[in-house]
Amino acid sequence: MRVALTPATISEKFLAQLSGDELDCVAETSARPDTASIVVSDGETLLAYAVFGFDDGGLVNIYAARADKMGFAGTALLRSMFGAAQVLGKPLTVHSDKVRAMARAIGATDFEQSFNELGEKFGVFNG
């Protein structure tokens, strides 16, 4: 298993393993100059990823994340990544329609659903 942090667009070989809205979101957001991506792979297989950036207010924005191919390890990875709110001392925002359930699943104690300045649905959680 390999974990890589990249400021560039997620590799085509990994993007090819995504489809539909997820592919569009990950390709667009990982290509932006204000984002970076964590990519977990096993050889040529994409196991997990997270595309994130920081906004002008200092919030960590998670634009897309997935770790379902990693089972318990993936859940632990997301827990540790989203636990960054405690380490950074700043709330995280996550771009997702299912963010409330996801936030609870990873142990968030404070949660609000909102919209960002672009009108995209975001969940903000901490704890």
* Residues 100 and 86 sit within 8 Å (Cβ to Cβ): no
Question: What pLDDT does 90 receive?
Answer: 59
Domain limits of the chain? 2-126
Mean pLDDT per 10-residue section of the chain, whose length is 127 residues: 88 94 90 90 89 76 77 66 58 58 65 72 68
Question: What pLDDT does 119 receive?
Answer: 74
Question: What pLDDT does 62 receive?
Answer: 79
Question: What pLDDT does 113 receive?
Answer: 72
Q: Which fold has domain 2-126?
A: Aminopeptidase (3.40.630)
Task: Please give the helix or strand (H or E) that residue 46 lies within, else none.
Answer: strand 45-54
Question: What pLDDT does 28 receive?
Answer: 92
